[in-house]
Structures are given as C-alpha cells and as structure tokens.
Structure 1
Amino acid sequence: MNTSLKLSYGLEKNNAAAFATVAAKAGDVKFKASMTDATFVNGPSLTGLALAVEKPGSFVIDFDVPKKDFKFRFMNTINVAGKPLNLTYMHNRGENRTTLDGALVVDSANKVSGSYMFGTKDNFKLKYTYVHGGTTTFEPCFDFAGKSWDFMLSRKVYGDDVVRATYKTSNRVIGLDWSRNSKQSFKISAIIDLNEESKVPKLFAESTWTFES
C-alpha cells in the first residue's frame, strides 16, 4: 500500500490558511481525506473535511462532509480516426451542475480540448496545447461565455522541476508557480491581481511526501 501526505499553506495579505490531504492507495483504488485548519482550530470538527474515492482513469467520487454534498467524475477513452479522445463527465449534486470535458490527442506535441456545461447556451471552452521539444508547453484557451482568453506557458527545468506562468484576461490575474514531481514533491505559487492597487501577491506553498509499505 502506498500512502502520501500533502501539506499546503496559503498567505493572503494578513490572512493565512493551512490544508492537509492524506491519501492511501490499495490496488487500483485511492482513498483520500482532506482537512483545513478549521477542522482543528476550535477542537476536532467536521468543518473543512472532505473524503474521496478514486480509480485513476475510471472515476472519482468526492464527498463534502459538512455540506453532505457529492461530486462525481467518470472518465473514459475512445478512438476517433485512430486518435485517443479522453472524456470526463462531471456532476456536482449540490450545485446541480453537469459538465463534459474532452481532449483529443493529435500527437505527442498537439492536443485539442473542450469543456461544456449542460443547461447553458454559450458556456463552452476550447483549448489548444502545444509541446515544443518535450520541455516547453504553450496553452491558449478561449472562453465563449466570457469571450475572453486564458494563456499558460510552462517549461521543464533541472530535470523534474517545472516553472509555469498563467494569465487570465477576464479578471486580469497572473499566476506563477514552481513545482517538482517526485517522492518528495513541492509547489510554490504566487497569484497577482492586476486590478488591486497594491498588487501584493498571494503566496501558496505545498509539499507532498510518499511512503511505500
């Protein structure tokens, strides 16, 4: 059985928040429990507690304990003209929201993705992903509902490390992060809202430890 522990800490102006996730893998199935500092700050409680069961590539079921709310995700892959099309069906019971995501992998360097929310007219997003040389990824995304663009640029550095920058034109927010994916993973992020006069970045840090038994 593999077990992992992820700790996250966020700092926004004078406010701080902490999060923790414990995950255990038994065979093909993962079990996760997520907590926030609100779960323990005034003594143990159900506040901020969430549970999840996941079979990678097949399904994810999330349960928000205090809200008694379920979220379902089901994944499948079909072939279209010899190319894999990855489909994800998502339903949020509490918000009564259903979406369908699809990603067509053209080749190792090109992928086209789309996301549609059912029950809406124009709530559709279209994204193109281009990987150059296996190290640099450029990803523009157009939101038809908001008629706005999002952009992402990332690059692998120092082997397992990835630096990434994002920009959302709809709300003028810049995101920067540096991450490493290994047995002792970490991610350091900063979010800058260009609409704020001070433009002080919101900082986040998370670290994950994986244990094998």
Structure 2
Amino acid sequence: MMKTSLKGRYDPDKSNAAASLAFNAGDVKLKASMTEAAIVNGPSLNGLLLSVEKPGSFIVDYDVPKKDFRFQFMNTVSVLDKPLRLNYIHWRGQNRTILDGTLVFDSSNKVSANYAFGSGNCKLKYTYQHGGVRTFEPCYDLSSNSWDFAVSQRVFGDDVFRASYHTSSKVLGLEWCRDSKVNGQFKILASLNLAEEVKMPKLSAESTWNFEM
C-alpha cells in the first residue's frame, strides 16, 4: 500500500507547501518528502528528504541538499511494571543529540523528560488526561527555570481546542485542529506576545490531505 500526503501552510509572512510519498517494503517503510523549494525555480533536490523507518524501532532521515543524516532509535523498557518509552535522536551534521523518555503510569497519567546533550537543556512534562477529552500539560524548563502550561479539549469527536502559555517568552497560543479520516487535517493557530508593546496576534493555517493507493 502506498500513502501520499499533501500539506499547505499559510501565514501573513510566508506560505509554503509540502508533499510526501510513503510505501511499505516488508518490515520497513520508505518515504520521500519534498517542500515547494524542490519545484519552484525548476525541479531540484532542494527540500528533498528521504527516510527509512521500522515502526517502533528506528528512523533514518537523509537531507539530500544538506547531505546530512538524522538517526532516531526507539525502544520500550519496563520500570516497576510500567512502560518507559525511549527515543534517541542524533543529527550528524549538527552534532546534536537529544534523549527523550516517557513513563506511562496509566491511560490518564504520564511523565516525560527531554534532554539535549551539549547545551544541557532539559524539560520535564506531566500529562494528565481527564475523561479522555481534556488534557493538562504543565512543563518545567530547567535551563531557563520557567514553566509552560497547556490545556486541550476535544469536542464533537474530531475537533480539538488547545491553549498554551510560555512564561519565559510570555507568548499565549491558541489552536483549533480538526482531524478527519475523510477530509484530512485542518489547523488554525494564533499566538500573542504579551511582552510586546503593540500586541498584535499572529495567525496561520495548515491543511493536510492524506490519500491511499
């Protein structure tokens, strides 16, 4: 089975588009993604990304124009009879490494940590889901000694409203997302920087269509 995805994004400063083509080859999935940079100004390799993925095990991305690799390895181990999901991500060209882990206590509670080697940036996040429709996500950034807060609410099955606030940057974000198997995904985002003297919201919209062949 082959899957195709088309994605467009619009905001007042810059609009862009992307497309991807993926198909299964035994236990692995092969994927090619490109942005509008590969088409604008004539066919080129700009914006072309090639990927090989074994679900639940690894992902290898190759950025063709940058000639750079990104490696991601996933694994799940048991800690006190609770699943701990681990992700190890490394960018070869940037020499950047991130370790991400999520400990799932039950269907409603989980704790995750994200650590960037070299920079020492570390974030701790607690996720609580109430009734399967409302999610609370407080996050503490150890490097900046600041908190981020987010709350989301699912309505009408396919719609999710999300509000977030970053205390370090004083940015308030609002998001409405509709994810439908028939019509694809549509998202509207708004952000407001409360630290700016002239408080003007920034708006953007994203739309994604998925096809199976």
TM-score (structure 1 length as normaliser): 0.89
Q: How does 1:43-122 map to 2 (within 5 A)?
A: 43-120=42-119, 122=120
Matches of 1:24 and 1:140 in 2, distance apart? 35
* 8 Å CA contact 1:188, 1:205 repeated in 2: yes
Question: Is this contact kept in 2: 1:23–1:30, CA < 8 A?
Answer: no
Q: C-alpha distance in 2, partners of 1:62/1:197?
A: 42
Q: Is the 8 A contact 1:17 1:37 kept in 2?
A: no
2:156 is matched with 158
Stretches of structure 1 that go unaligned for 5 or more consecutive residues are none
- Distance (whole Å) between structure 2 residues aligned to residue 159 and residue 30 of structure 1: 29
Alignment length (residue pairs): 210
Q: What letter corresponds to residue 209 of structure 2 in structure 1?
A: W
Cα deviation code 1:45-88 (max 9, x no counterpart): 22222222223322122222211111111111011111000000
TM-aligned CA distance change 1:132 to 1:197, over 3 Å? same
Distance 1:56 1:18 in 2: 28
8 Å Cα contact 1:36/1:49 also seen in 2: yes
Three-state SS of the structure 1 residue aligned to 2:16 is: strand
Name the structure 2 match of 1:146: 144
Q: Which moved more, 1:128-137 or 1:42-51?
A: 42-51
Residues 193 and 21 (structure 1 numbering): CA distance in 2 closer, same or farther, change over 3 Å? Answer: farther
Gaps of 5+ in 2: none
Determine whether 1:41 maps to 2:40.
Answer: yes
- Farther-moved stretch of structure 1 (69-78 vs 18-27): 18-27
8 Å CA contact 1:4, 1:208 repeated in 2: no
SS at match of 1:38: helix
Measured in 2, the distance between the counterparts of 1:82 and 1:196 equals: 48
Distance 1:153 1:17 in 2: 28
Q: Residues 10 and 202 of structure 1 are in contact (CA less than 8 Å); yes or no, is this contact kept in structure 2?
A: no
Give the secondary structure class of the aligned counterpart of 2:50.
strand
Return the letter of the residue paired with 2:202: K
2:45 & 2:61 partners in 1: Cα distance?
A: 15
Aligned partner of 2:91: which letter?
N
Q: What letter corresponds to residue 159 of structure 1 in structure 2?
A: G
Distance 1:148 1:53 in 2: 37
Q: Which digits, 9 at most, give the CA deviation of each residue in 1:168-191, with x for residues without a partner?
A: 112122222111233222222223
| Deviation at residue 139 of structure 1 after TM alignment | 0.3
Structure 2: how far apart are the matches of 1:189 and 1:2? 30
Q: CA RMSD in A?
A: 1.9
What is the match of residue 193 of structure 2?
A: 193
Assess, with a 3 A threshold, how the Cα gap between structure 1 residues 22 and 144 changes in structure 2: closer, same or farther. same
Deviations 1:136-187 (A, max 9, x none): 0000111111111111111111112111111111212222211123322222
CA gap of 1:3–1:34, structure 2 versus 1, over 3 A, is same
Q: Do the aligned partners of residues 64 and 202 (structure 1) sit closer, same or farther apart at CA in structure 2, a change above 3 Å counting?
A: farther
CA shift at 1:7, angstroms? 1.4
CA, structure 1 residues 72+173, in 2 after alignment: closer, same or farther (shift >3 Å)? same
Name the amino acid aligned to 1:117: A
CA deviation after TM superposition for structure 1 residue 102, in Å: 0.6
